[in-house]
Structure 1
């Protein structure tokens, strides 16, 4: 009805658009329509009352006419639509009271219309509280009047001030139209918003379904990526095991000085390649939240010396002064933590320091922050006199695949994964890395970790040696199908006077266990005929306790997180990742043989 007038609609919409809420916009529009259309309504009545000589009604409609114009101006210029709506409701209430007690002295149709109008407008414009207030202020006087005037209890009269039938018909018709439109408009707005919410809900449901499908696809892609990386890791680490293992074996055979240097370079290059592979795999593990810290006892002082020895050759090649300063509080203490992850952190920091330092020094300092009966807080600081890092780039270097500048990547290489991995490992230790750096002066990376610790005895602190005397004549079965890996293991064991028996697959290994006596088994996990898991399970089911209880160490190039769990479930005692450190193998052989000797003596 009202929307037929486009200019009017445009004017009303322009004022209502200041409110972001759709319901408030509907309220403003409704109020403006009421005020605008009551201007011609009251103007018509003014003319009618002038010609009819009805002074009392003329005064009232003149006030309505003026009030509508003033309220429209206030809403347009000052945006006070809520105040204006309250004034309109107060005017309606005043009209009801004046009809009851002055103009009509009764309850006629027009009075009832005003009551309905005020009640509906109160709820629609201002909600429940104000709606109940205006309803009460309009209805209670009617009830009070009706209760006190028993003669006219059922009478709907015209009152003492008579008006013409045409004017009265015009007034009640106009009011009825407004009451009808009031309900129509708000029901229309309600329906529109309800439909909009329903549409939005359906769209959100479809979007959630698409999101769920996308997440499933991403999960599948992530799993496929991890499977691919695990496979590639196995394929890359297997030949690296041969390179590093043979290098270790040759270095132990008293080579010439020139051969020693060449072998050291070969071993160093292979270990660097292994480090890059590990960084890529570890980063993917961290991204998939599949990394957990170990909590095993280790000698921190020895670990730090070993780390220093690993980077010594690289520092010596660049003629850098490599310094190691370790607190004396570590003496006779076994730290409880993850030596592998801590080594990863310190090697990344030290390798970076050496890489970006052309002259001067690189230092690793470990100092005590606090110590009590069972916990020790250590401060680690890696300092260099290298190229430094600009202040605005210092946070960027901890982001994946990011370096301080493109020239850094060109001149120094690297994947940009070392420092992000350092950051993630330290987060697992509830620690953060801090950087102080100045271009051209150098950098210092610093962090603090609190470790549990236990006192160590002479046995724990004794450095394992590789002369092999206590392992001599150990009967070892090696289940391995890769010829290079067989050669590496044989040469490693032979330096400890161990002559292993080789089985090319799991089926042969099981047969040899049945036919012969062994002290320990080194088991590859992936072999033809029967893999390592199946073979270990079959051995554990043998009826002979001496054979079914044989210590088994898994050897694998697979670094998937599930390996350790599957190894344990299959009945194997321990595992080593390829390429393995001969010292690590020596320790595990020594530990298992001692445990077996202690058990047999009981």
Structure 2
């Protein structure tokens, strides 16, 4: 209802609003203009029967005339068209049946017209259900009267009133006008509605076309974003690899104390830059749905101690008490899960707790909630006495690139990606992170995860490869390196020289295949982006060599590229493992030794 409608309103404009459908507007208009026609018709009948001194018909038409005026006023005050329609139909039914059974005591053309009016009006105004109800309410009693009258069984102690021909003509004429008006009005409304539907359909077609273009544009934009991030990652990681690598080499060369301090600052800054790049790329990979979770055996106690060991030193440097508490039931349990992603989650939470705590303590706890035959449910809690988070900002801290305030960003640094990554990683594993915090008192982050249980013992998963124990044997390894960047070539040579390994260098994929076919090598370290032939094609070419034994050589991909599906492409090309630049020397050498040892053991069978 329009806000302009009031008790003294008589305008239809004030009772129709744009938010009403065409059908509802048509029903209101039908009532509004129909009341004028009905008023004129009933007024004519009133004067006609009054002049004939037909008291009952005069009372009925007078009552109807008054009802029309009252309902019209009610419509212009509160356009409750449904209620008004019901009242009108009850009045029409009452008049029709009273005329048949009492006043006139016969079924004539006017009675049939009245029934037809009720049927049409009830269906148009109230729909199928009520239309059927009012139709039967009028038809069935009239048919009963017909049967009784036909059998001359109907009798009532009241003398019927006889109306003259003029009254009959007025009634018939008025009824025909109303019937034509109802049909004409709703035909116009339905035709207008159909045209509107056609226009809506056309607009919908245009909108669908625009939506398809927008979706296509968004998909292309997302693809471009991923490719841009991958390109930027490669361009940033390539020099970063040299910085981190050379820093590691210089630290391994036993520098003077003053040099060592400078190198630590350099390495720390490079690691911070690497962490920022990794956060952005990890989030990009998570959003693209390219995260694959491993199911490997691991010792949770060792994992927690390794994570918290390095963080504890950071806390102690700030004068913060650091406490790690592990449920004793976890000491002899070997779990199945993804230790790498769990490390990423906990490391983000613990490092944040230390970063935002000036004094007091950081507390990390892991305890078993449920221990079943093949599954264990474990809760993790990271609590601090840091600056805290305002309750109004709790809903925003898990959004990407967001920190609680600009002041915190400037004071504590960071990209604001850590908690977003934590939340997404947990959600992808069916877990939920909870947070409670008070300004100036600290924060607590907690989550619960389910892990599979392995029958292996702690001792079994802690065993090291024999080759890993003996670095003296490394100098016998024959390593072929595919690398086109001169700085990275120099870095790899210096790094491998620490283990007395003299590698052979190939500047592109085509050279790698040619050199490998002519020589004998234990392992290939393959860069992915190279001129002439890339690392993927080179690896596939090697796997297709006629010599089946040579075709099985271990290949480790080395690349600064971090496209969301990079690992899938690497393994699809036939490579055995992947190390992302910049890499830790010990990580690379461990993978090299593991693969060489496994290949040697397999070949000897």
**TM-score between the two structures when normalised by the length of structure 1:** 0.88
1:389 deviates by 2.6
Give the corresponding residue for 1:256: 256
Q: Distance in 1 between matches of 2:60 and 2:386?
A: 91
1:178 deviates by 1.0
1:133 deviates by 3.1
Structure 1 residues 305 and 268 mapped into 2: Cα distance closer, same or farther (>3 Å)? Answer: farther
Say whether residues 1:509 and 2:512 are aligned partners.
Answer: yes
SS at match of 1:397: coil
Q: After superposing the two structures, state which structure 1 stretch, 565-574 or 452-461, moved more.
A: 452-461
Give the corresponding residue for 1:531: 534
Q: Distance in 2 between matches of 1:53 and 1:439?
A: 90
Q: Distance in 1 between matches of 2:97 and 2:364?
A: 91
SS at match of 2:502: coil
Give the corresponding residue for 2:293: 293
1:165 deviates by 4.5
1:274 deviates by 0.3
Structure 1 residues 450 and 583 mapped into 2: Cα distance closer, same or farther (>3 Å)? Answer: farther
Match of 2:495 among 480, 492, 501: 492
Structure 1 residues 143 and 94 mapped into 2: Cα distance closer, same or farther (>3 Å)? Answer: same
Give the corresponding residue for 2:461: 460
Q: Distance in 2 between matches of 1:330 and 1:535?
A: 46
Give the corresponding residue for 1:589: 592
Q: Distance in 2 between matches of 1:570 and 1:19?
A: 60
| CA deviations over 1:128-168 (Å, ceiling 9, x no partner) | 2332233334334554555566799xxxxxx9866554444
SS at match of 2:476: coil
Q: Is residue 473–residue 499 contact of structure 1 (8 Å, CA) maintained in 2?
A: no
Q: Distance in 2 between matches of 1:34 and 1:50?
A: 24
Q: Distance in 2 between matches of 1:493 and 1:176?
A: 105
Give the corresponding residue for 2:557: 554
Runs of 5+ consecutive residues of structure 1 not aligned to the other structure? 1-7, 153-158
1:323 deviates by 4.4
1:177 deviates by 0.8
Structure 1 residues 312 and 515 mapped into 2: Cα distance closer, same or farther (>3 Å)? Answer: farther
Say whether residues 1:544 and 2:517 are aligned partners.
Answer: no
1:518 deviates by 1.1
1:226 deviates by 0.6
Give the corresponding residue for 1:5: none
Q: Distance in 2 between matches of 1:130 and 1:320?
A: 77
Give the corresponding residue for 2:267: 267
Give the corresponding residue for 2:335: 335
Structure 1 residues 442 and 586 mapped into 2: Cα distance closer, same or farther (>3 Å)? Answer: same
Q: Is residue 396–residue 402 contact of structure 1 (8 Å, CA) maintained in 2?
A: yes
Structure 1 residues 578 and 72 mapped into 2: Cα distance closer, same or farther (>3 Å)? Answer: same
Runs of 5+ consecutive residues of structure 2 not aligned to the other structure? 1-7, 153-158
Q: Is residue 19–residue 25 contact of structure 1 (8 Å, CA) maintained in 2?
A: no
Q: Distance in 2 between matches of 1:262 and 1:313?
A: 19
1:504 deviates by 1.7
Q: Distance in 2 between matches of 1:165 and 1:284?
A: 88
1:351 deviates by 2.5
1:68 deviates by 2.7
Match of 2:576 among 573, 576, 589: 573
Structure 1 residues 59 and 339 mapped into 2: Cα distance closer, same or farther (>3 Å)? Answer: closer
SS at match of 2:583: coil
Superposed, 1:384-395 pairs within 5 Å as 384-395=384-395
Give the corresponding residue for 2:4: none
Give the corresponding residue for 2:155: none
Q: Distance in 1 between matches of 2:320 and 2:256?
A: 26
Q: Distance in 2 between matches of 1:249 and 1:568?
A: 30
Superposed, 1:146-185 pairs within 5 Å as 163-185=163-185
| CA deviations over 1:30-66 (Å, ceiling 9, x no partner) | 3344444333433333333444455554344333323
The count of corresponding residues between Structure 1 and Structure 2 is: 589
Q: Is residue 467–residue 495 contact of structure 1 (8 Å, CA) maintained in 2?
A: no
Q: Is residue 375–residue 452 contact of structure 1 (8 Å, CA) maintained in 2?
A: yes
* Structure with higher RCO (Cα < 8 A, 6+ apart): 2
Structure 1 residues 288 and 549 mapped into 2: Cα distance closer, same or farther (>3 Å)? Answer: closer
Q: Is residue 44–residue 170 contact of structure 2 (8 Å, CA) maintained in 1?
A: no
Q: Is residue 513–residue 541 contact of structure 2 (8 Å, CA) maintained in 1?
A: yes
Q: Distance in 2 between matches of 1:266 and 1:19?
A: 66
Q: Distance in 2 between matches of 1:547 and 1:140?
A: 97
SS at match of 2:194: helix
Q: Distance in 1 between matches of 2:226 and 2:470?
A: 40
Superposed, 1:97-116 pairs within 5 Å as 97-101=97-101, 104=104, 106-116=106-116
Structure 1 residues 579 and 128 mapped into 2: Cα distance closer, same or farther (>3 Å)? Answer: same
Q: Is residue 472–residue 497 contact of structure 1 (8 Å, CA) maintained in 2?
A: yes
Superposed, 1:424-439 pairs within 5 Å as 424-439=424-439
Say whether residues 1:481 and 2:479 are aligned partners.
Answer: no
Structure 1 residues 93 and 333 mapped into 2: Cα distance closer, same or farther (>3 Å)? Answer: closer
1:343 deviates by 2.3
Q: Is residue 15–residue 78 contact of structure 2 (8 Å, CA) maintained in 1?
A: no
Q: Is residue 349–residue 382 contact of structure 1 (8 Å, CA) maintained in 2?
A: yes
Give the corresponding residue for 1:408: 408
Structure 1 residues 567 and 118 mapped into 2: Cα distance closer, same or farther (>3 Å)? Answer: same
Structure 1 residues 319 and 64 mapped into 2: Cα distance closer, same or farther (>3 Å)? Answer: closer
Q: Distance in 2 between matches of 1:447 and 1:192?
A: 58
| CA deviations over 1:203-243 (Å, ceiling 9, x no partner) | 23322222221121111111101100001101111111111
Q: Is residue 364–residue 380 contact of structure 1 (8 Å, CA) maintained in 2?
A: yes
Give the corresponding residue for 1:222: 222
Q: Distance in 2 between matches of 1:160 and 1:304?
A: 102
